[in-house]
């Protein structure tokens, strides 16, 4: 029988991960159950939904919005969505005149506690390098056409400081509940590569 068919095979990468995990477990540095819980949390439970709830709250509650823009870390913490990495959160409001968009040019610092894990393009060199240099072109590739009089501001995240974009509330949503509003807020709108569209049938 040829190699690879009668026995199991692990790739070089899988072998390295297993080596790390088993040694760290043997030494009591990690607990496999805790690892599973972290994976489950980030893969299934956080996603961008926490961020969407923050945005929806800000749209319906002017006091909360003021708090959020003044002290993002405390306001997001008040909803229970701060992570363990200890990064400060700054919230950037998109308006008719200013469009904010976020990036991490060095690696991929990202506000996990509110947005889950970053999409592949956020981690890519073209996005990291080009957004700073030609933000309008990059945003166009995401299908976002901004008027010439809109100022584009690019924010570079760090290990200590992460950004969340507060997108503008679209027209035609006056009668929507906070929960319904949270459902229309997309991940990309909180990174700043798109805006939140009016819901179908809305104005």
Partner 1 sequence: MSVPSREELPSLPRDEEGPVFKEPWEAQAFAMTLRLYDGGHFTWPEWAACLAEEIEAAQQAGDPDLGDTYYQHWLKALEKIVARKGLLSAEELSRRKDAWDRAAHATPHGEPIELGPDD
Task: Answer yes or no whether residue 77 interacts with partner 1 by CB under 8 A.
Answer: no
Contact 155, 101 (CB under 8 A): yes
Contact window for partner 1 (CB under 8 A) among 1-9, 50-58, 95-103, 176-184: 1-9
State the minimum distance, in angstroms, from the CB of residue 146 to partner 1.
17
Which among 8, 78, 107, 157 is annotated as catalytic?
A: 107
Instruction: Figure out which of the listed residues 97, 133, 148, 171 binds partner 1, where binding follows CB under 8 A.
Output: 133
**Residue 167 DSSP symbol:** P
Of residues 19 and 74, the one with the C-beta less far from partner 1: 19
Compute the residue count for the chain: 203
Is residue 16 close enough to count as binding partner 1 by CB under 8 A?
yes
The interaxial angle of helices 62-70 and 49-60, nearest 10 deg, is 120
Distance (Å, whole) CA 99 – CA 202: 23
34: Cβ contacts below 8 Å, ≥ 6 apart: none
Residue 11 is among the residues annotated as catalytic for this protein: no
- DSSP state, residue 201: T
Candidate list 63, 80, 120, 201; residue touching partner 1; CB under 8 A: 120
From 71, 88, 93, 141, residue interacting with partner 1 (rule: CB under 8 A): 141
Burial grade of 141 (CB within 10 A; 0-12, 13-18, 19 or more): middle
130-134: which pairs have CB atoms within 8 A and are 24 or more residues apart? Answer: 131/101, 131/103, 132/103, 132/105, 132/156
Instruction: Verify binding: residue 98, partner 1, rule CB under 8 A.
Output: no
Interface segment toward partner 1; rule CB under 8 A; list 19-27, 59-67, 69-77, 195-203: 19-27
* The one among 123, 152, 168, 199 contacting partner 1 by CB under 8 A: 123
Can residue 73 be called a binding residue for partner 1 (CB under 8 A)? Answer: no
């Amino acid at each position: 029988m040829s190699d690879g068919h009668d026995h199991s095979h692990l790739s070089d990468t899988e072998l390295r991960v297993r080596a790390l995990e088993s040694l760290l477990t043997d030494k009591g540095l990690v607990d496999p159950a805790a690892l599973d819980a972290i994976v489950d949390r980030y893969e299934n439970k956080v996603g961008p939904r926490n961020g969407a709830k923050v945005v929806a709250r800000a749209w319906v509650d002017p006091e909360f919005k003021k708090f959020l823009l003044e002290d993002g870390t405390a306001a997001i913490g008040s909803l229970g969505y701060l992570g363990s990495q200890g990064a400060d959160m700054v919230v950037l409001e998109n308006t008719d005149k200013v469009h904010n968009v976020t990036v991490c040019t060095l690696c991929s610092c990202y506000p996990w506690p509110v947005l889950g894990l970053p999409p592949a393009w956020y981690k890519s060199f073209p996005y990291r390098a080009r957004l700073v240099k030609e933000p309008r072109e990059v945003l166009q590739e995401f299908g976002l056409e901004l008027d010439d009089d809109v100022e584009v501001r690019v924010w570079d995240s760090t290990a200590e400081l992460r950004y969340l974009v507060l997108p503008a509330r679209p027209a035609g949503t006056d009668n929507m509940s906070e929960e319904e509003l949270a459902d229309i807020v997309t991940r990309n709108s909180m990174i700043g590569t798109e805006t939140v569209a009016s819901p179908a049938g809305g104005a």
